[in-house]
């Protein structure tokens, strides 16, 4: 599969021409890009890929909203929208190590040292209360200082100077851990950021797993061939050779700067506090590169991130309950699970598996296999009719969750978590039967002839 960004965009132009919109007129990067995408979705019910050809203050064209469609993400994984979770799990279970290549399009233009100017990049401000211009589609590549195993993640970067940004490291996650290890030795942590990548790379970066699971190998699993990586110019790291743009940098030890607030995936503008400092050493890019902007907190962001999250949670539940039917993350911090419960207590085990496998998940609802977890009415019906909260609720106090959960404000993600066993007790087969019709009567009703 072609690993570059542009050939994927060309496929969309050829196969789904209605889903590509070019905006030729000059546009202000402060708020207008994000507002255009969100209002198009709300008013016209459309979610095209947008290219803003002429963005004030920069030579780069800005592309956004690529991931806001499940069929487009399926295309990137070579499967239909319903097979994405299965394909992602297969990539996690069959990771392929990357291949080092000598050069790539991301080396067309190399800017180093004093020539670096972050202000030449699009200065995109997303929402009204944001603390400044943000880079939202920067995928970090960094190595575990002890094992050398890569970690990849999305980290929001606020542009703070000619060669500096702040970085939001989610407390307790892998890149935060690497930074703490380097900082303890008084060292900077080398980190590179790729911006503008094939969606398979974007999805792989969002894989949630153990710290020894290398996301670059999962990217290879998604491509079904090794990810082609090329050496950085100024730091000891490799990056995807076919990325549109690379930022080479390091996270400084013992330094912080005011960051945020920022309109996030939770739907709130939040998170203003002291964050770590990134010092940029080089920018390399394809000649004529598109600058990708993630439309954070909207579908471009939410659809992309839930596929890897659901795959990991399915894997975690399946390790405890082989008869798990489906796992869904319908909204921030929430997980629905349906299982075919063969033994009493399996629903509680499912709750523990989910809460143990993901930092962000705060609320779990487990239902029987006859409940469609893609239908909120059915989940609510099960909660109302199969559940006694004093018997079926699990409550865990003082756990670690997302530092971007506004209900833990002041406590940086120090949070309670809860699960509700909404399965029928003791087992579905022994529970009050649902209303139903004799099969011969049901089959005998001819709706078409009655309505004609
Ligand atoms: Mn990791």
The model's pLDDT over 171-203, given as tens digits with 9 standing for 90+, comes to 999 999 999 999 999 999 999 999 999 999 999
Distance in angstroms (rounded) separating the CA atoms of residues 159 and 282: 15
Ligand 1: centre distance to CA 203 (Å)? 13
Ligand 1: centre distance to CA 216 (Å)? 10
Residues listed for the chain? 452
In contact, 283 and 59? CB cutoff 8 Å: no
- Cα–Cα distances in Å, from 195 out to 5, 155, 159, 347? 10, 11, 15, 41
pLDDT in tens, 145-175: 999 999 999 999 999 999 999 999 999 999 9
Tell me, what's the pLDDT at 270?
Answer: 84
Ligand 1: centre distance to CA 114 (Å)? 32
Tell me, what's the pLDDT at 412?
Answer: 85
Ligand 1: centre distance to CA 39 (Å)? 34
Ligand 1: centre distance to CA 192 (Å)? 15
Ligand 1: centre distance to CA 121 (Å)? 28
pLDDT in tens, 65-114: 999 999 999 999 999 988 999 999 999 999 999 999 999 999 999 999 99
97: phi then psi, degrees, rounded to nearest 5? -65, 150
Distance in angstroms (rounded) separating the CA atoms of residues 441 and 447: 12
Taking the domains of the chain in order of start, what are their residue ranges? 5-295, 321-430
- Cα–Cα distances in Å, from 50 out to 130, 168, 199, 243? 22, 26, 15, 18
Ligand 1: centre distance to CA 211 (Å)? 5
Tell me, which fold does domain 321-430 have in CATH?
Answer: UbiD C-terminal domain-like (3.40.1670)
pLDDT in tens, 373-390: 999 999 999 999 999 999
Q: Which CATH number applies to 5-295?
A: 2.30.110.10
Question: What is the average per-residue pLDDT within 330-336?
Answer: 96
Tell me, what's the pLDDT at 260?
Answer: 92
Distance in angstroms (rounded) separating the CA atoms of residues 37 and 62: 12
* CB burial of residue 101 (10 Å; 0-12, 13-18, 19+): middle
Ligand 1: centre distance to CA 143 (Å)? 10
Ligand 1: centre distance to CA 433 (Å)? 45
Q: How confident is the model at residue 1 (pLDDT cuts 50, 70, 90)?
A: confident
What protein residues have CB closer than 5 angstroms to ion ligand 1?
Answer: 151, 174
Question: What is the average per-residue pLDDT within 7-31?
Answer: 97
Ligand 1: centre distance to CA 208 (Å)? 7
In contact, 208 and 190? CB cutoff 8 Å: no
Question: What is the average per-residue pLDDT within 197-224?
Answer: 96
Measure the CA dihedral 273/278/284/286, to 10°: -10
Among residues 40, 14, 30, which one has the least CA distance to residue 62? 30
Decide if pLDDT at 347 tops 90: yes
Buried b (16+ CB within 10 A) or exposed e, 53-89: eebeebebbbbbbbbbbbebbbbbbebebeebbebbb
pLDDT in tens, 239-272: 999 999 999 999 999 999 999 999 989 889 888 8
Ligand 1: centre distance to CA 215 (Å)? 6
Ligand 1: centre distance to CA 339 (Å)? 28
Ligand 1: centre distance to CA 342 (Å)? 34
pTM: 0.94
């Amino acid at each position: 599969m072609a690993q570059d960004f542009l050939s994927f965009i060309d496929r969309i132009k050829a196969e789904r021409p209605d889903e590509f919109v070019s905006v030729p007129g000059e546009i202000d990067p402060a708020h207008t890009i994000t507002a255009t995408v969100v209002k198009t979705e709300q008013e016209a019910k459309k979610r095209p890929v947008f290219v803003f050809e002429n963005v004030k203050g920069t030579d780069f064209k800005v592309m956004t909203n690529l991931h806001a469609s499940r069929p487009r993400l399926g295309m990137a994984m070579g499967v239909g929208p319903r097979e994405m979770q299965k394909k992602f799990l297969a990539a996690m279970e069959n990771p392929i190590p990357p291949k080092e290549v000598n050069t790539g399009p991301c080396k067309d233009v190399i800017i180093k040292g004093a020539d670096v100017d972050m202000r030449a990049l699009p200065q995109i401000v997303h929402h009204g209360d944001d603390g400044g211009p943000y880079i939202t589609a920067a995928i970090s590549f960094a190595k575990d200082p002890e094992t050398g195993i890569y970690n990849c993640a999305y980290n929001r970067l606020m542009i703070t100077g000619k060669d500096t940004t702040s970085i939001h490291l989610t407390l307790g996650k892998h890149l935060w851990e690497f930074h703490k290890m380097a900082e303890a030795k008084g060292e900077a942590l080398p980190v590179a950021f790729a911006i503008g990548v094939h969606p398979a790379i974007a999805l792989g970066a969002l894989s949630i797993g153990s710290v020894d699971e290398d996301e670059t190998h999962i990217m290879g699993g998604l491509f079904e061939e090794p990810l082609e990586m090329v050496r950085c110019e100024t730091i000891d790291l490799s990056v995807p050779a076919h990325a549109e743009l690379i930022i080479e940098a390091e996270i400084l030890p013992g330094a912080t700067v005011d960051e945020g607030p920022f309109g996030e995936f939770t739907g709130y503008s939040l998170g203003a506090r002291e964050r770590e400092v990134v010092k940029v050493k080089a920018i390399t890019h394809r000649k004529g590169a598109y600058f990708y902007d993630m439309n954070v907190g909207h579908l471009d962001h939410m659809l992309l991130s839930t596929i890897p999250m659901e795959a990991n949670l399915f894997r975690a539940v399946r390790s405890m309950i082989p008869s798990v039917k489906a796992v869904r993350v319908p909204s921030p911090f929430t997980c629905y699970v349906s299982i075919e419960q063969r033994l009493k207590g399996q629903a509680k085990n499912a709750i523990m598996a989910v809460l143990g496998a993901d930092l962000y998940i705060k609320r779990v609802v487990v239902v029987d296999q006859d409940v469609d977890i893609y239908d909120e009415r059915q989940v609510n019906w099960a909660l109302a009719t199969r559940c006694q909260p004093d018997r079926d609720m699990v409550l865990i106090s003082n756990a670690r969750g997302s530092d971007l959960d506004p209900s833990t404000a002041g406590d940086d993600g120090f949070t309670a978590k809860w699960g509700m066993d909404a399965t029928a007790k003791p087992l579905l087969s022994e529970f009050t039967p649902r209303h139903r019709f004799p099969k011969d009567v049901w089959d005998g009703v001819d709706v078409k002839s009655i309505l004609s």
